[in-house]
Structure 1
């Protein structure tokens, strides 16, 4: 495709630095099937690529990622088919976060604008999270009749269980300053330009580390134990699928119509 706007994931390579730009700006980079398939393919390739040392995740158009594309969640289908689709989609989401965390490369999340729902999961799966001051973070799933199934372990791991519980139950956005205070991001920069400069400075620091030592250090961190308990991924997928087949119909319709859902009245 010649038009970059038609490519859901832009991948740029500068020596050992790989930049993956979520590229659906009209949808605040919401994760469509095409986007996540491209991201999964990139992650699979990087797992075996020892010439790459850093992966930077960012979003086009001033936003990081608004989470799952609700147009796909709410697409009409037979009940059995819809349940199967939601189960598979949610399992793959959990596997994606685990794949990011397990990469031998150091992963930096460069966050502007919205980092919501699954986008928040990407932030927490990254090793280093940097944000601009206008960034906003939210786990609004319960407001859509859904559950923050696969991001919850990663939020708890990054923020602590108490702060994660407040975020996923209340569902309201928090500012970048609040996100930093709660441990969700490591540093907040004044604007997009300062954020980009800070990312480059961090990359320069990382390039001072020996490639093998960086990869071995990440492997040791993984060996300390992951954030997702055994059996949780499947339980989370089942919970998400049940909600997607129930209350989410009203929640997504209300979200699209920009009105309160029935349960909020």
Structure 2
């Protein structure tokens, strides 16, 4: 498996599409994909000719979250702790960068939208999903914590719904995701999703670019996504759990398609 083109970026006029492109891994977020995201977001932050960013995934899935094969390593505990902390810190900042874009960001979701995939969906301004989509924050079942997606889940769906989602760690369907506000609209299938996406893009383009960017700024000014210090605390918590025996067991169980010892 290679990561030659982990993020496919196309443009048609003012509309930019970013397609997460690791279909053999349900578009799990690799280091290479994260770096590609960071390059794109840096470009878009100063590009006033782009007005809409559409986020989607290749192969019928949105994003299955962090590639767990990159969590396991042969590093020393100290090296692994530092690497995981840096990675999780950057993940949280990336979601913030998406939300801060002057463009209107639309997530078009099919299939799996798990873990970090939820971060992309909730950092977007508008989230549309096909009826076949499935949503989950499974981190605790892997011995990990949903550190950097949690503030975004709370902002989108509210604290009670987010609490249940991250503690039960169960998969919910698109209708339930719509009911709790995780997505704005659920469409019957991929064709209907694309049709609604085009309608949403057309509606957004009716708005003045400067006014839309200023409106997004006002929405951000209503309050921070998380309190001061949360991002660093979350990164540290993820690093600790990712370096733990629980994570080693949880990830091994996930790969072997069995229950971890604590659930047996």
Q: State TM-score, norm by structure 2.
A: 0.98
Matching residue of 2:11: 13
Q: Which runs of 5+ in 1 are unaligned?
A: none
Does residue 132 (structure 1) correspond to residue 117 (structure 2)? The answer is: no
Give the whole-Å Cα distance in 2 for the aligned partners of 1:60 and 1:5: 14
Contact residue 3 and residue 33 of structure 2 kept, 8 A? no
Give the whole-Å Cα distance in 2 for the aligned partners of 1:74 and 1:25: 21
After the TM superposition, list the runs of 4 or more consecutive aligned residues in structure 1 that deviate by more than 2 angstroms.
Answer: none
Give the whole-Å Cα distance in 2 for the aligned partners of 1:16 and 1:224: 28
Matching residue of 1:190: 188
Matching residue of 2:103: 105
Query: Shift of residue 192 of structure 1?
Result: 0.4
Matching residue of 2:225: 227
Query: Shift of residue 257 of structure 1?
Result: 0.7
Matched position secondary structure for 1:34: helix
Matching residue of 2:253: 254
Contact residue 3 and residue 32 of structure 2 kept, 8 A? no
Give the whole-Å Cα distance in 2 for the aligned partners of 1:205 and 1:166: 34
Give 2:154's match in structure 1, choosing from 156, 172, 184. Answer: 156
Give 1:175's match in structure 2, choosing from 173, 176, 181. Answer: 173
Give 1:45's match in structure 2, choosing from 19, 43, 46. Answer: 43
Query: Shift of residue 5 of structure 1?
Result: 7.9
Q: Which runs of 5+ in 2 are unaligned?
A: none
Cα-to-partner distance string for 1:57-80 (whole Å, 9 max, x where unaligned) = 000000000000000011221111
Q: State TM-score, norm by structure 1.
A: 0.97
Cα-to-partner distance string for 1:13-65 (whole Å, 9 max, x where unaligned) = 01100000000000000000000100111011100000000000000000000
Q: CA RMSD in A?
A: 1.0
Matched position secondary structure for 2:97: helix
Matching residue of 1:61: 59
Q: What does 1:69-84 correspond to in 2, within 5 Å?
A: 69-84=67-82
Give the whole-Å Cα distance in 2 for the aligned partners of 1:193 and 1:77: 46
Contact residue 27 and residue 62 of structure 2 kept, 8 A? yes
